[in-house]
Amino acid sequence: MATVHGTDIDIPTPDGIADAYLTHPDDGAPHPAVLLYMDAFGLRPHLKKMADRIAAAGYTVLLPNLFYRGGRAPLFELPEFIDPAERPNLFESITPFIFALTPELAMSDAEAYLSWLAASPLTTDGPAGVTGYCMGGNIALRTAGTHPTRVAAAACFHGGRLANDAPDSPHLLAGNITAELYFGHADQDGGNPAEQIDHLEKTLTAAGVRHSGGIYPGAQHGFTQADTSAYDAEADKRHWEDLLALFARTL
């Protein structure tokens, strides 16, 4: 694993400036680009550590604050260890930011993030990898379907509403996807029920999309997030193995 260099940066978008974290191997060379989409708890130290771990495997990683329209991160106060059971009102602060980030806005931002990565001297030529967590997993799938020439691989871990009944459900973009996809579903996740997982699988298969993954037994929604009560060390270990294997074979 390489040593990495991380720094806070600003990314221009059509709607303003998105604060972000950029990390890459500290060797002065360009590396394949990876876009990391946060979960609803936002850009914070744990996610920066995750970005650093991907960078140490040989990638230039951009981790944007998806809620930048509401201000620079952190937008709400979080404890070092996040346990929603002890902070039952926490999501009252977060939910407005989630609903404000419409699919249209998220994909406008995706264009800005991917364009910035493509233009950076720190990245190699070619499409990027994308990985997303919780709400970020939904956006990762949507990004692969909206910007197919820019995405070679997309991973989604404990994502929700991936194949829902809404007219803008991300699974409806399957016919556009050229990337290889990976899904790590939590089997204790009410936001991603078995019928949606099955519907997603059938849709991707019918569209001829290369995809793999499956259900992580015993895992809760948020199982990769070590600073939360949902963390599952065994499932997280599998997540890292599967994510880095996806990037190794596609980027």
**Could you give the residue numbers annotated as active site?**
134, 189, 221
The CA-based dihedral angle spanning residues 206, 207, 208, 214, taken in that order and rounded to the nearest 10 degrees: -70
User: Strand 4-13's sheet: what is its strand order?
Assistant: 4-13, 16-25, 60-64, 33-37, 128-133, 151-157, 180-188, 211-220
Token pair, residue 199, equals: 């519907």
Q: Which among 80, 77, 101, 75 has a CA at the least distance from the CA of 90? A: 77
Residue carrying structure tokens 């346990």: 83
How many Cα atoms occupy the beta-carbon half-sphere of 17 within 13 Å? 8
